[in-house]
Every structure is written in C-alpha cells, then in structure tokens.
Structure 1
Amino acid sequence: MASVSNPPPQGIYVPVPTFFAAPSSKDFDVASPPLDLEAQTKHSLFLLNGGIQGLVILGSTGEAIHLTNKERVQLIKSQREELDKAGFKDRPVIAGTATQNIEDTLQQLEESKAAGAEYGMVLAPGYFASAASQQGIIKWFQAVADKSPIPVMIYHFPGVTNGLYIAPSTFETLAQHPNIVGCKLSHGDIPDHTLIASSPKIDPSHFVVFSGLGQNLLPVLTVGGQGAIDGLAGVFPKTVVRLFQLFQDSSAKGTTKKDLDEMRSLQFKICEGEKLVAKWGTVGIKEAVARTWGIGDKDSARLPLAGGFQGGEKEWDSWKEVYAGLKELEESL
C-alpha cells in the first residue's frame, strides 16, 4: 500500500452497546429481537454531546457476534447518517470485526466502509490461541491490512480470544504497516501498555494506543497512551472526558498539585463505576444507561445473554450509591 493512513484522533471513544427491541414490544422475537435504532441514535447523540471523540460500533460491547452482516451495515449506516445530520461529521465511526478468517474480515471491512465507517477495529483471531505464533499473528494482521479499504486498528482482548497473547514486539512490527494505525488494549497489563505506548520503535503520530479500560486511563496516559475506548464512558461521558482533558491541559501548562488531586479523584470515581462494567459487561452498561438516563431498555439483549441483571433490583441496589454519585458529578460538568 503506497500511502500512509492517518490514525483516529486521540481522546475518549465509546464501544457502544447495540440496542434491541424490548421484550414488551409488539415486534419482539426471542430468537432474534430487532434493532432499536431510535434508542441507538438517542444514545449516540448523548455521547457526542458529552464530548466523546467518536464511536466504536460492533465491538464486544456491541454484541458484534450476535448480528448478521445485513444488520451490521444497517446499524453503522444509520448512526453515521444520524451523526452527520446532527453536525458531528468530524467524529469518526470505528467498526468492529470479530471473525476468524481473513476473507470474512475483509468483507466486513468493505461493508463497513460502504456504510460510512472511517476505521476498522479488528479483533485478533483467537480460536487457535494455544497454537498461534507471534509470526502467525503478524502475518494475519498484515494480510488484512494489505487489502482493507479503511485503516485498521488491532483489538487485543485476551478475555474473548481464548487468552491469545500479542507481545509488545509484535505491536512494534505491525505499527510499521502503513494501514495499521493503532490498537485497543483490553487488559490490565500496564507494563505491556508502556512497552507499546512508550516504544521508541513506534511513531505515535501514525499508531495510537488506546486502553480498553477506563480504570487504567490515568496511568496509561502517563506512559504515552492517547486515550481510551471505554465502557463506563457510555454512561458518564463527561466524567471520563474530563479526566482525559485535564491530563492534556495540565501536561501542556505544567501539572499542579491541584490538578493531580483532581485527576486522582476522578480516576477513583471512574474505577468505582467500572466495577459494574467489569462484572456485567454490555448487560451492565445497558442496565446503567436505562436506569440512569432512560435510554433503551435494560432487558434488551440477544441470547445467550439474558437481558438485565440476574439479581434484579437487589443487584442494582449494590451499585445505586456509586452511580448516583457519578450521575451528580456528570451533571455538574
């Protein structure tokens, strides 16, 4: 590939959940509840009005593996059009892929581009994780990036790829590809974040490093990371953006003790809220969005995920105090 692709802008992105029709709706089908594009758009605009830099559609939180290719296109196209209509043409849409073979991945990337996505976030192929070599991973991503019509980001999430490990040295190699422009690291290994984000062999103007965990945001920023693709930001966008922006502003002018105290306080509150996301994933995010802001239906999901907390009101009661505090903070920003 002759030209070098540009990465997405640094900042806070949200891996948006995919909203489905509520069980109480007339067109509900337990085998395949239809998309709820009205709730999807309402949530997307809530996020962008809260300062979110862009949306990741059809990542793990978006239940990518539960949608047909036709539904993928419909979802991406609808949100790109709604964002443009609302004046957010400058906010990128990153489309996730979660297939195991290169041809299917390329088909999804081509369809994502046609639907309006600017980037593809490609989940590492983990079916044969125990047998995959670092060289095999390198060649797999290079083959995808060679033919992808949009720039590619590497999605490293050992929790959903059979524990597949991608070494920092592998990222150093892949970061040299002109069409591979960044990564999402959805694990808590700060040393590996550091070895990628601070590597002298990686050009940060071409290859951006985003943490997939908001609870790691402040430490990741200090070692050269450029932001996060974070689940809690799907509920409290201004709060997570505030921490990112405060770090950027204070770094530019000189960090004061007051800045540091506020950043630590924000990170503490984010870590409290992220405990729900870590435990419940997309189910918890939908529950929190519905209960906190009245967007979507907390019971909407596709099998085998059961909609809503299994513990019902009792489970929510255990989070109520933390989320009420975060809502108060969010509304003050």
Structure 2
Amino acid sequence: MSTPPPPGIYVPVPTFFQSKKSATYNAIASPVDIDTQVAHSIYLAKAGTKGLVILGSTGEAIHLTNKERFNVLSGVRRAFDHEGFKDYPIIAGTATQNIEETVDQLKNAKEAGAQWGLCLVPGYFAGANSQEGIIQWFTAVADQSPIPVMIYHYPGVSNNVKVVPSTYVTLAKHPNIVGCKLSHGDISVHAQIASNPSIDHSKFHTFTGLGQQLLPAISIGVVGAIDGCAGFFPETVVKLYELSIKNQPADEEIKKRRSLQYKLSSMEEIIVKFGTVGIKEAISRLRGLGDPDGTRLPLFRGIPGGEREWSKWKGVVDSMEAEENGA
C-alpha cells in the first residue's frame, strides 16, 4: 500500500540556471546549475524542512527538457545520500497535459530517486473539463505510476480549472493517490477535503500551498504546507508549523471541531452558489419564515431548480439540523 509524504513543511524549490558569469551561459536557455541546486537543497534539509518539491511550478518544470529534469532530480538525490539525508523526501512535479508523458516523467522521477510525484491538474480545456474527466485522468496516471502521486490544484497556472471536493473523495480511494497540494486561498475548500469524514486521512494527506494560511489550515486537518517562503526563511516557517501543532486539544475535541467546520463549510456552498437567494430559500424551508420568491428584481424567485435543487443539499442540511437541535 502506498503511503503519503510525512506531515510537515516542504519547499517548492526553484530550478537554478547558470549565470552570465558562466562560460556556458545562454541568454535564451542557460544550462541548469546543479551545484547551486544541491547547495540550496542541503541548506533546506539542514534547516529542518521535511522535504522538497522539485520541478513544480516554482521549479519551472515546463521550461526543462526531460533530460534536464532527470539531472536535477538525480543530482539532488545523490547529494542527499552523500550528506547523510538518505531518506529525505523528494516530491517530483509534473505539468504535462497528456497521460503518457506524465507517466513517463513519473517513471524517470523514480529512476532519479524521487519517492512521490505531484501532478498538476490538466487545464488546457478547463472550460470543457468535467469532474469525471479529471477523475479518469488521474486514475489512469496513478494506475501506471511507479511512485505514489498527489493531486496538484493550482488554478492560477491551470486556466482556472475547478476541482470540487467530491472529486478528491473519489480519487483518495485510489491506492496510489496519496494526497494533494491546494495552491489557492479558499480555506473552506481546504476544510471540505482535510476534514472530510469520507476520506481516510491516514492514507491521503492534504497540504496547503500557501504559508500565509498555515495556522488556520492546520486547525482543520491540513498536515503541512508546501510553501515558497520556506525557500529562504525555512526555520521560521518550520517554527510556525511546530507551534501550530503544539498543545492540540484532546482527540475528541479535534474531531468535533473539524466535523463542525466540515459541515459548515459544506453548507456555506449554497451561499457561494446562490447568494441571498440561497439564504432566503434555507430560512424559508428550515425556519418557516418569509418566502424564497420574495425578492426584488433583478433577483428572481427562489433557487433555480426549486425542489430538485434543494434535494441535492439534503445530506448536509440534515447533518447541520442535527447539530442545531443538539446544540
């Protein structure tokens, strides 16, 4: 059974290229600077970070050839082994759109010494992407990958493609999909994944890609961050992580607060989707006050779809109502 990367702070490292001072400098595509890559990687390992993401978005993966990718990964792996960091985690990024090439990069990453792959959600046809298409894409990749893979959702570089929480629930069941990196600021979506009772969080770890929300993210079940600032202030970011997990309340209290946040975040989606109309609909149906049709133009009647749409919310509404009645 595949295992996820351990909790903690990971660094999405940049790829270093030779400077103008180098005899082999090329203004269009200068060669990679393995020596600097290694020096930076060792510095980060000694500073207490848990692992590295190499060749992610920060690492300009799309700017490198497959040979360069291998040289960077294998160079860092050899340096870690030589410096006494034999089992130090390396997560290799992929950013290609097609399944075959993604799998090839994952195979090369394993050969180079990486233990996990971080696969960017394909977003070229984001407007036409269906959740089922995303599920099948990742399933095909994970079925063929020789190393465990993680879902990398970074809308900013993926044409604003959307991945809904239920898609993570489905993909988390795959034995070779072991986690995700969420590089967006929607903390509610983080909660709907990291605190979701339908996911086995011992086998699927949720990481935030934003250190600026590390403390609140930890409180809802996120296990760590893959954070760019840790590339130059590693000890400070690690310190924040350690303080965030220190003196946590009793297990039952943690479970309860995460359960409540998950339910609330899920319920709030009706407001995200329908705004004031959704609020009025819920108040009318649940508390018998007002009429969801009672709006002023340009708002028009209740939620689109009426009873059929409302029925889709039954599960989360019932769970919130149970909490309300037992509060």
TM (normalized to structure 1)? 0.74
Q: Which amino acid is 1:67 matched to?
A: L
SS of equivalent residue, structure 1 residue 150: coil
Q: Which amino acid is 1:64 matched to?
A: A
Distance 1:44 1:130 in 2: 38
Q: Which amino acid is 2:46 matched to?
A: N
Partner of 2:238 in structure 1? 241
Query: Larger relative contact order (C-alpha < 8 A, sep ≥ 6)?
Result: 1
SS of equivalent residue, structure 1 residue 14: strand
Aligned pair partner of 1:111 in 104, 108, 112: 108
Q: Structure 1's 24 and 217: CA in aligned 2 closer, same or farther, altered over 3 A?
A: same
Q: Structure 1's 28 and 102: CA in aligned 2 closer, same or farther, altered over 3 A?
A: same
> Within 5 Å, which residues of 2 pair with 1:158-173?
158-173=155-170
Matched, 1:225 2:222: yes
> Within 5 Å, which residues of 2 pair with 1:263-302?
none
Q: Structure 1's 252 and 38: CA in aligned 2 closer, same or farther, altered over 3 A?
A: farther
Q: Higher Cα Rg: structure 1 or 2?
A: 2
Matched, 1:131 2:98: no
Superposed displacement of residue 252, structure 1: 6.5
Partner of 2:41 in structure 1? 44
SS of equivalent residue, structure 1 residue 182: strand
SS of equivalent residue, structure 1 residue 120: strand
SS of equivalent residue, structure 2 residue 151: strand
SS of equivalent residue, structure 2 residue 163: coil
Partner of 1:319 in structure 2? none
Deviations 1:244-288 (A, max 9, x none): 11122221799xxxxxxxxxxxxxxxxxxxxxxxxxxxxxxxxxx
Superposed displacement of residue 28, structure 1: 0.2
Q: Which amino acid is 2:204 matched to?
A: F
Distance 1:68 1:31 in 2: 14
Partner of 1:302 in structure 2? none
Aligned pair partner of 1:67 in 20, 40, 64: 64
TM (normalized to structure 2)? 0.75
Deviations 1:176-209 (A, max 9, x none): 0000000000000000000000000111110000
Q: Which amino acid is 1:153 matched to?
A: M
Partner of 2:99 in structure 1? 102
Aligned pair partner of 1:20 in 17, 22, 27: 17
RMSD: 1.1
Deviations 1:156-188 (A, max 9, x none): 000000000100010011000000000000000
Partner of 2:84 in structure 1? 87
Partner of 1:155 in structure 2? 152
Superposed displacement of residue 23, structure 1: 1.7
SS of equivalent residue, structure 1 residue 250: coil
> Within 5 Å, which residues of 2 pair with 1:168-247?
168-247=165-244
SS of equivalent residue, structure 1 residue 251: coil
Aligned pair partner of 2:53 in 44, 47, 56: 56
- The runs of 5 or more residues in structure 1 that have no matched partner are 255-333
Q: Which amino acid is 1:211 matched to?
A: T
Deviations 1:33-76 (A, max 9, x none): 01111111111011111101011000000000000000000000
Q: Structure 1's 78 and 252: CA in aligned 2 closer, same or farther, altered over 3 A?
A: farther
Identity %: 59
Superposed displacement of residue 94, structure 1: 0.4
Q: Which amino acid is 1:15 matched to?
A: P
- The runs of 5 or more residues in structure 2 that have no matched partner are 252-327
Distance 1:91 1:204 in 2: 22
Partner of 1:141 in structure 2? 138
Superposed displacement of residue 11, structure 1: 0.3
Aligned pair partner of 1:10 in 7, 10, 15: 7
Partner of 2:263 in structure 1? none
SS of equivalent residue, structure 1 residue 159: helix
Deviations 1:282-320 (A, max 9, x none): xxxxxxxxxxxxxxxxxxxxxxxxxxxxxxxxxxxxxxx
Aligned length: 251
Distance 2:250 2:34 in 1: 42
Partner of 1:279 in structure 2? none
- Structure 1 runs of 4+ off > 3 angstroms? none
SS of equivalent residue, structure 1 residue 13: strand
